Every structure is written in structure tokens, then in C-alpha cells.
């Protein structure tokens, strides 16, 4: 082998890496239940026995692309079109292999970030984490002034580790070229790097959460925990402790409760999008807490995308021309304006409509509809169908990558709830070009809330 061949070896960045990751993920799925082989207490014991003791442990566990692969797995549900859904899910499950920090290491982080050990900074500190965040963990505490709070503590050194791995653009490119062949890979990398970098920055996450908390303040069914400013830094976020049932428990509630929870999630998603021009890109079942009556607490604002008015405009136009004005030509033009579709593509507008209509199926016509897992997967399949006549001319510009979450993430959640509502009627309340009167009891309450809000709170 010549030295030139060696140089080529060193520079080779094939597609293999992602397939590897995907395969690793797939196998992980079968492995995952045995990951911490024992159940319950024993599993917890094992996790604690293997807890991360030092920044070196963190680097060994999450360095060398592992943390990035984990994040890619989590984000894959909106960037990925090559991996089967189980692979996407299991890649994100990679994070199950990450044990928590030891109480000492978490305390060190608190000391470094908040200027004193947890038992001095807080009135009460629970050294047992209550939840894992992919790059940190959550502890319960009570502040000096008596507020119950959740304290998210980032793993030490993780930002530097992940930043270094994100710097390997060549490797990322080969990962994504497989994961998302139809998309602009360079744009995607930029988007991914931005998103991951943002997620590592707790200051930004706290800002996003503050903005959502302020906007939805007083909302009849939506709760966003308030940030405790003086106890939040770039690597620690302290917010009000929220109570409620987890997703798995919601699934056991009566259908009427599930319908209400779904309505709240739906209103939250589209109010955020159309009014705050913001989209929380992480509709993961673990990010919600539920109480009866459709009360939902939204956690985790690490993946918020803000849209400029110019970015939002074509989306508004598309839904309007397709669902309200029934103007296929204008719909197509909006798609072209947003660069979703190559202008002058040799396909008929009928074909465009036929292909795209599925995405708007729940809001094209009035009437009660039940979301189903079947619909959610049909949307995903349509999305990833490269044999359709549109495929050669269609793309997802970078700014809209995260919006795929609406189709793939939210519809999947609502499908799992088998949620029934007149989604068109709810959408009409929210669509800025319609602003219809309330169509449900929750809509009535929301209208009253909006009337109460001081005008200054409108963005």
C-alpha cells in the first residue's frame, strides 16, 4: 500500500458510519431491555454503581462521537428519512446506556456554577436525580425562599466534548448523507450543529423557556414552569418543579381525558408557531406532564426554533391556499417561493396537490376526526417516499427542517392517544388569516385568557 493510499484512507469518509450507527442502534433495541439487566431497584443500584464519577468518565461515556450519535438519534426523527422508525427510536435509546453522575460530581457542578455546594445554595437538595437529560440530569430541591424546584445539571466537560465531535464535519456529512439523501446535507449539518450547540447552552434554553412561560402565563390548560433566574447559568437550569402524570399513565386515562390533553398539545404547538413564531422541536413523550382536564405542563425547551416573518409567511400561505382559498396554483407558487419545490418542475399542479394533501388531511375539511398511528405513519411514509413524482424536485430548506417534527412527532403523539377533535375548527381559531371564534370549551377559556392578557404581552 502506498503512502497515497494511506492518505486516502485517512480522508475516506464513506457512508458507512451512519449505517453503522443505525445498525448499532437497531441492535441496541434488542439489547436495551437488558441494558441494565435487572429491573427496578436492582437496575437503579447498577446505574448508581456505574455512575459517572469524573469529567473523564463523562468523556469516556459520551466522547468520541457517542454523545453526538445520541443527539443525532434524538433529532433523527426530524432530520432522518433513511432510518426505519425503530432505528430512530433506538438510536435515541442509546442514552439509556449513560449512567447518572455520582452525587459528588453533581455537587461539584453546582458548586462551580452556583458558587457553593448544593446544601448551602439550596434549603434542601435531593442528591438522587429524578430524571436523566441526555447531557445532564435533573435533581429536586427547595430554594432558600421555599420554592420547590427542578435543577437540571449538565455533565462536566460535555459541551467541549460534543463541540469537538461536531467539528468533524466530514464524518457528520457522511452520517447525514445516508440519513437524509433528499436533503441539502450541508444545510442540515449547519442546522444540526446549531441546534446541538444551542441545546448545550442552558442560558439559551432558559431564555426560550422564559419566553414560552411569559407568553402562556395564565393560560387555562398550558403550563410552562418559570425559570429561577438567580439559580440558572450556562450549565445549570433551575425552574419551578411541576407535578403531573407521565405519558405512560396518560395512556391509561379515559379517552375524553386523552382528547383534552391532545387538544392542549395541538393548541400549544400552533399558537407557538403562529403567534410566537417559535416551534419547540422536541415533542418527546417525556417532555410533558398531565393533569385531568387537559392540563399539560411542557418541559424542556432545549430545541426551540424561532422563525423570521419571512420564513413563516410561505407556510401560512400554503395552508391558506390549500385549505381555505382552494387555490392549487397559488399553493404551488408558495411552495416554490419557500424553495420546497423547484420552480417549473415538469409535474402537474394536480400531482403536487395529490402528494401534499395528506399532510393537511386533518385540517382540509371541517368535521370531527380521530388521529391514528396509521395516519401518523402514512404521513411519515409519504414524507420519505422517494419514488413519488415530486421527489426529484422537492427539498426541505434548512429553516424548515425542524418543522418536520410537526408532521412526524406531533401526529405520532396524537395518533398514540387516538385523539378525536374537529382539528379544522381548532386550527381556524389559530390561523392568523381566519381567527375564528372558539369551537370548544377549551377554546372559550383560551379566548377569555387572550382577552385578559395585556397587549404588551403580544409579541
Partner 1 sequence: MTAEVFPAAGLIERAAAAFAASVPQRQADDGFFGPGSVTWRLTADLSAPVAGLRSLMVQALHPLAMAGVDQHSDWRADPAGRLASTSAYLVTITYGDRAAARRAADRVRKIHERVRGTDPVTGRPYAAGDPDLLVWVHAGLVDSVLAAADLFGTPVSAADKDRYVAEMTVAAELVGVPAGRAPASAADLAGYLAGIQPELTRSQTAAESTEYLLALRGLDEDIADIWRQIAGAAIASLPPWALDLYGWAPAKLTAAYREEVRQVLGVLDVLYLGEPGVLEARQRIELRMRQAG
Among 94, 312, 356, 402, binds partner 1 (CB under 8 A): 94
User: With binding defined as CB under 8 A, does residue 69 bind partner 1?
Assistant: yes
Write down the least CB distance from residue 32 to partner 1, Å.
9
| Cα(149)–Cα(225) distance, integer angstroms | 9
User: With binding defined as CB under 8 A, does residue 54 bind partner 1?
Assistant: no
Restricting to residues 286-315, name those near partner 1 by CB under 8 A. Answer: none
Residue 130 has which C-alpha cell?
A: 429524578
Cβ count within 10 A of residue 299: 23
Among 52, 58, 65, 412, binds partner 1 (CB under 8 A): 65
| Cα(336)–Cα(328) distance, integer angstroms | 12
Sole window of 59-67, 107-115, 264-272, 372-380 interacting with partner 1 (rule: CB under 8 A)? 59-67
User: With binding defined as CB under 8 A, does residue 432 bind partner 1?
Assistant: no
Sole window of 14-22, 110-118, 321-329, 397-405 interacting with partner 1 (rule: CB under 8 A)? 14-22
Write down the least CB distance from residue 171 to partner 1, Å.
6
Q: Which residue, 163 or 324, has its beta carbon nearer to partner 1?
A: 163
Among 132, 163, 171, 378, binds partner 1 (CB under 8 A): 171
Residue whose grid cell is 432558600: 144
Residues touching partner 1, count (CB under 8 A): 41
User: With binding defined as CB under 8 A, does residue 14 bind partner 1?
Assistant: yes
Q: Which residue, 99 or 443, has its beta carbon nearer to partner 1?
A: 99
Write down the least CB distance from residue 8 to partner 1, Å.
9
Residue whose grid cell is 420564513: 311
Q: Are 434 and 324 in contact (CB under 8 A)?
A: yes
Restricting to residues 129-168, name those near partner 1 by CB under 8 A. Answer: 164-165, 168
Q: Which residue, 4 or 452, has its beta carbon nearer to partner 1?
A: 4
Q: Which residue, 3 or 248, has its beta carbon nearer to partner 1?
A: 3
Write down the least CB distance from residue 38 to partner 1, Å.
11
Among 23, 43, 160, 246, binds partner 1 (CB under 8 A): 23
Q: Which residue, 27 or 381, has its beta carbon nearer to partner 1?
A: 27
The torsion of the CA quartet 297, 220, 407, 201, rounded to 10 degrees, works out to -40
Q: Which residue, 55 or 418, has its beta carbon nearer to partner 1?
A: 55
Number of Cα atoms under 13 Å in the Cβ half of residue 18: 24
Sole window of 32-40, 317-325, 354-362, 436-444 interacting with partner 1 (rule: CB under 8 A)? 32-40
Helix (H/G/I), strand (E/B), else coil: 438 = coil
User: With binding defined as CB under 8 A, does residue 20 bind partner 1?
Assistant: yes
Closest CA to 427 of 269, 219, 295: 269
Helix (H/G/I), strand (E/B), else coil: 196 = helix
In the chain the first and final C-alpha atoms are separated, in Å, by 63
Q: Which residue, 97 or 342, has its beta carbon nearer to partner 1?
A: 97
| Cα(372)–Cα(240) distance, integer angstroms | 34
Write down the least CB distance from residue 192 to partner 1, Å.
16
Q: Are 391 and 182 in contact (CB under 8 A)?
A: yes
Among 30, 120, 124, 365, binds partner 1 (CB under 8 A): 30
Residue 125 β-bridge partners: 141
Task: Show Cβ contacts of residue 43 under 8 Å, excluding neighbours closer than 6 positions.
Answer: 36, 37
Q: Which residue, 17 or 138, has its beta carbon nearer to partner 1?
A: 17
Q: Are 35 and 97 in contact (CB under 8 A)?
A: yes
Write down the least CB distance from residue 116 to partner 1, Å.
29
User: With binding defined as CB under 8 A, does residue 42 bind partner 1?
Assistant: no
| Cα(277)–Cα(307) distance, integer angstroms | 5
Residue 91: C-alpha distances to residues 22, 27, 441 (Å): 7, 9, 40
Q: Are 285 and 413 in contact (CB under 8 A)?
A: yes
User: With binding defined as CB under 8 A, does residue 41 bind partner 1?
Assistant: no
- From the number of C-beta atoms within 10 Å of its C-beta (0-12, 13-18, 19+), residue 374 rates as exposed
User: With binding defined as CB under 8 A, does residue 38 bind partner 1?
Assistant: no
User: With binding defined as CB under 8 A, does residue 211 bind partner 1?
Assistant: no
DSSP letter at 436? P
Residue 148 β-bridge partners: 142
For the chain, how many residues are written?
459
Within its chain, how far is the Cα of 330 from the centroid? 31
Among 33, 42, 43, 64, binds partner 1 (CB under 8 A): 64
Please state the φ and ψ torsions of residue 270, each to the nearest 5 degrees.
-85, -30
Among 44, 50, 187, 287, binds partner 1 (CB under 8 A): 50
Write down the least CB distance from residue 85 to partner 1, Å.
17
| Site residues for partner 1 per CB under 8 A | 1, 3, 6, 9-10, 12-17, 19-21, 23-28, 30-31, 34-37, 46, 49-50, 60, 63-66, 69, 94, 97, 164-165, 168, 171
Amino acid at each position: 500500500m502506498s503512502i497515497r493510499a494511506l492518505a486516502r484512507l485517512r480522508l475516506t469518509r464513506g457512508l458507512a458510519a451512519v449505517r453503522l450507527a443505525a445498525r448499532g442502534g437497531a441492535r441496541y433495541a434488542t439489547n436495551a431491555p437488558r441494558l441494565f439487566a435487572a429491573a427496578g431497584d436492582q437496575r437503579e443500584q447498577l446505574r448508581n454503581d456505574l455512575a459517572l464519577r469524573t469529567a473523564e468518565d463523562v468523556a469516556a461515556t459520551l466522547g468520541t462521537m457517542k454523545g453526538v450519535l445520541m443527539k443525532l438519534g434524538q433529532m433523527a426523527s426530524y432530520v432522518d428519512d433513511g432510518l426505519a422508525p425503530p432505528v430512530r427510536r433506538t438510536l435515541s435509546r442509546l442514552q439509556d446506556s449513560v449512567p447518572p453522575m455520582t452525587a459528588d460530581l453533581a455537587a461539584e457542578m453546582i458548586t462551580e456554577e452556583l458558587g457553593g455546594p448544593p446544601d448551602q445554595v439550596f434549603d434542601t437538595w435531593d442528591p438522587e436525580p429524578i430524571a436523566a437529560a441526555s447531557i445532564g440530569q435533573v435533581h429536586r430541591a427547595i430554594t432558600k425562599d421555599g420554592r420547590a424546584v427542578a435543577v437540571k445539571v449538565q455533565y462536566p466537560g460535555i459541551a467541549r466534548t460534543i463541540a469537538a465531535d461536531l467539528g468533524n464535519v466530514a464524518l457528520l456529512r457522511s452520517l447525514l448523507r445516508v440519513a437524509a439523501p433528499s436533503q441539502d446535507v450541508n444545510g442540515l449539518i449547519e442546522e444540526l450543529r446549531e441546534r446541538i450547540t444551542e441545546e448545550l447552552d442552558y442560558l439559551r434554553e432558559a431564555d426560550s423557556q422564559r419566553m414560552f412561560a411569559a407568553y402562556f402565563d395564565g393560560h387555562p390548560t398550558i403550563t410552562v414552569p418559570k425559570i429561577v433566574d438567580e439559580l440558572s447559568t450556562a450549565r445549570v437550569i433551575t425552574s419551578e418543579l411541576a407535578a403531573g402524570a407521565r405519558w405512560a399513565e396518560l395512556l391509561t386515562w379515559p379517552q375524553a381525558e386523552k382528547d383534552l390533553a391532545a387538544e392542549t398539545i395541538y393548541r400549544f404547538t400552533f399558537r407557538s408557531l403562529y403567534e410566537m413564531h417559535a416551534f419547540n422541536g422536541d415533542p418527546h413523550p417525556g417532555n410533558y406532564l398531565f393533569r385531568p382536564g387537559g392540563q399539560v405542563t411542557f418541559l424542556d425547551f432545549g430545541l426551540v426554533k424561532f422563525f423570521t416573518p419571512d420564513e413563516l409567511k410561505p407556510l401560512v400561505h400554503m395552508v391558506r391556499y390549500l385549505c381555505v382559498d382552494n387555490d392549487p396554483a397559488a399553493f404551488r407558487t408558495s411552495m416554490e417561493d419557500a424553495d420546497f419545490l423547484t420552480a417549473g418542475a415538469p409535474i402537474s399542479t394536480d400531482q403536487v396537490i395529490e402528494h401534499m394533501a395528506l399532510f393537511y388531511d386533518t385540517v382540509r375539511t371541517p368535521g370531527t376526526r380521530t388521529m391514528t398511528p396509521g395516519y401518523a405513519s402514512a404521513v411519515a411514509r409519504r414524507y420519505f417516499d422517494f419514488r413519488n413524482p415530486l421527489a426529484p424536485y422537492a427539498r426541505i430548506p434548512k429553516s424548515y427542517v425542524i418543522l418536520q417534527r410537526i408532521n412526524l412527532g406531533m401526529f405520532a403523539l396524537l395518533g398514540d392517544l387516538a385523539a378525536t377533535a374537529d382539528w379544522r375548527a381548532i386550527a381556524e381559531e389559530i390561523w392568523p388569516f381566519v381567527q375564528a371564534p372558539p369551537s370548544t370549551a377549551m377554546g372559550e377559556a383560551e379566548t377569555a385568557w387572550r382577552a385578559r392578557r395585556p397587549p404588551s404581552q403580544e409579541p
